[in-house]
């Protein structure tokens, strides 16, 4: 009788462990997906951003053109400096 009870406990334990892994996997996917989508969006060409499909989640024509544009064609470093000044000023005032 104790052998049967032990087997039942093992099955329940494995079932609970399986459910826990499924929940953790789904939670990790939900947490990581926005970061993945940001990276994929940043390397896709502009026209492909208008249509979001399951196929667009796996990039075909990746390009670093957007990074080149923001770093060399726009005053990004000026914007970054202004943001850092503002953030530092806010920290100093609130402390």
Going by the DSSP 8-state scheme, the letter that residue 45 receives in this structure is -
Flag the least confident range among 2-11, 33-42, 71-80: 2-11
Instruction: Report the distance separating Cα 62 and Cα 15, nearest Å.
Output: 42
What does the pLDDT read at residue 4? 65
The tens digit of pLDDT for each residue in 50-95 reads 566 677 677 777 888 888 888 899 999 999 999 999 999 999 999 8
Mean pLDDT over 9-14 rounds to 89
pLDDT band at 22 (very low <50, low <70, confident <90, very high): very high
* Bigger pLDDT: 25 vs 69: 25
């Amino acid at each position: 009788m104790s052998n049967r009870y032990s087997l039942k406990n093992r099955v329940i334990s494995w079932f609970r462990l399986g459910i826990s892994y499924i929940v953790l996997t789904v939670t990790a996917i939900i947490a990581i997906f926005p970061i993945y989508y940001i990276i994929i969006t940043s390397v896709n060409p502009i026209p492909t951003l208008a249509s979001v499909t399951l196929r667009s989640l796996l990039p075909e024509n990746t390009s670093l053109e957007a990074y080149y544009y923001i770093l060399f064609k726009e005053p990004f470093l000026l914007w970054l400096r202004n943001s850092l000044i503002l953030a530092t000023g806010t920290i100093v005032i609130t402390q």
